[in-house]
Amino acid sequence: GKLVRFVTAGMDEETRSRLQTLPSGKGLLGVVLREPLRLANLNDDPRSIGFPPHHPVMRSFLGVPITWHGQTYGNLYLTEKYDGEAFSEEDERLATTFAAQAAAAIESARSVENLRSLEESQRRERQHAELLQRVIAAQEEERKRVARELHDHTGQSLTSLIIGLRRLEAEQDAEPARTAVRQMRLQASRALEELHHLAFELRPSVLDDLGLVVALQRYAEDFAQRTGIQLHMALDALAGVRLDPAVEIALYRIVQEALTNVAKHAQAHTASVLLQERANSLVLIIEDDGRGFVVPDVAAGNGKHFGLMGMQERVALLGGKLTLESAPGAGTTVYVELPQR
């Protein structure tokens, strides 16, 4: 093995400073990484290699491995017993005991360090989750504010404009003028419809007022009308049930993102959304019969394109799991499971 640290005792600083390299862990030092070894004169042993240049002259030798539950941390070796005698079995027993204590201390220190590293990692993960929660909450509040502004102010202004154009249209005697005003009124009406759709996409007030199921039903109606994709909704199991607001928002956004992907990328004819309670969890399943894709490719490099990252983050913040199943030509299934709160 390769030694990375060489700790000495009983060697003066001058001698220690002359040791420019570490022992190589070969020869005798390699042997005592595996088993104890006692020698009356190590110079008589052909394995007496691996010590660094300028190492003090040695004769008697006792070496034992430093191991802990099969893991080798190094070795402990002693030379030149103070009374000039060879090392005894009792010396070997004491050295082995000391090496075992050293191994336990090393393992304990590593365990403490690993625990600190784990705690630091968990702390960073908690900070990231808290920051992400604040970001998502701020986004939702801003969506709600903008949607309210569009509905209450811009929407009212457009409604007033449409009413005025309708009155002006009725007052026109000449057909060309009446036609021109009618076209302006129709354009204003389309703009109002688009504004209502935009406000609903940003944050439907029905989600806060009536809950997830009603909001999803309204979204499904709008989605089918806009895309022509046949959409089957199975939400009756939670009809009339109000969930935690964070859960309702997360599930609504996941359905919204998944169906947006269906409309943009899947080339699907039909899709379905299933929401139900199971034991201690909520399950959401979104399926389509579109062209599908290779899941590893999306997970590895195109998560942002498909909105997968955002869905995964929302699910993770609520302690749930998201599974994506797809294959070319086989459609796509998004499976979400959240713990009941």
The pTM for the full model equals: 0.59
Domain ranges within the chain, ordered by starting residue: 13-120, 210-341
pLDDT tens profile 132-179: 778 777 777 777 778 777 767 787 888 888 888 888 888 888 888 888
Which one is the CATH code of 210-341: 3.30.930.10, 3.90.1300.10, 3.30.565.10, 1.10.3720.10? 3.30.565.10
Q: Which residues contact 58 (CB under 8 A, 6 or more apart)?
A: 42, 43, 51, 79, 80
Q: How far apart are the C-alpha atoms of 34 and 50, rounded to whole Å? A: 16
> Which amino acid makes up residue 200?
F
Q: Which residues of 269-296 are buried (b: 16+ CB within 10 A; e: fewer)?
A: eebebebeeeeeebbbbbbbbbbbbeee
Q: Concatenated DSSP letters for 277-318?
A: EETTEEEEEEEE-S----HHHHHHH-TTTTTHHHHHHHHHHT
| Confidence category of residue 24, pLDDT binned at 50, 70, 90 | low
The three-class DSSP label of residue 234 is strand
What is the sign of the dihedral through the CA atoms of 55, 61, 66 and 71?
A: positive
Determine the pLDDT at residue 306.
53
What stretches of 154-255 adopt beta strand conformation (E)?
230-234
- Distance (Å, whole) CA 184 – CA 162: 9
Query: Which tens digit of pLDDT belongs to each residue from 282-310?
Result: 999 999 999 998 886 655 555 445 578 88
* Residue reference for tokens 């943009």: 264
CA quadruple 48, 53, 55, 59: dihedral, nearest 10: 30
Tokens representing residue 193 in the block: 């419809």
CATH number of 13-120: 3.30.450.40
Weakest mean pLDDT among 5-19, 93-107, 130-144, 208-222? 5-19
